[in-house]
Structure 1
């Protein structure tokens, strides 16, 4: 279960206190991992770990409290995602995932975060890249408009417009497809 960050926890983490560092990780990792999964990264778990290696290395110098920490963490996650896309463009992956060969007994992180069937992931797949990015940052990562705008290198007004358009597109699609209420995005 995710820990609710407080300024006290953040202060202790800046001092290198192990339990506080763990609480920072447990608080931010699920939404960072969901963001990286939603962006289609090849190995989101590894990228999430890279985000925290960077974050913990810079923790002492971060400003802006918890909001500054979240913004920085998602800025790093965004940068790692861009690096992943560039790497894949230079060196495409030749092997495809075979679900029949997956011997895990429990649900994968992807299944847990995105659910099964044609849920959130399928709905987001049809959106333009910038609209998808806004929804991942605003809904999945639970960032403010200002934080999302900073990460995307955009203005708060542009983020609001992108989010409105994306939500309208999803609403229209759900109405056309008559998606059952239990699968709808709130």
Structure 2
């Protein structure tokens, strides 16, 4: 059995083969393209450093990468929970956002967020991937491991639900 620590040059090939899979795994969990890329890179760096310390067999490197990816995502979530999610008034002013001028905009955002919370998690993911991240239907279907037709109908229903919630909340008239 070959050990990865003796096959350092093979790590480049492993990286090329497994990067897309590890990225997709992480992206599905974090739902943010940039964060998924950064975390995927972190995972490969951690594993590369661990190769010398641990005796990882070549046929177990994939499982080791997935375990490391899962743990890295969980660590990120834990760190995020510990950080306060507060925007200071000074930060708003520095960014050219006067609180009094943006009160209506903030209220609108709160209304939209409440409407989104009433959708299922899958519906929110689909809308986020399609509208905010700009992915195509087939890409979203691959990411969520669902047929294209299912994604289309779920997106249609989610948008219809969202519109109804916003109309009910007085965001706009029908």
TM-score range, shorter chain: 0.3 to 0.5
TM-score (norm 1): 0.44
TM-score (norm 2): 0.46
Say which one has the larger Rg. 2
User: Larger helix proportion, structure 1 or 2?
Assistant: 2
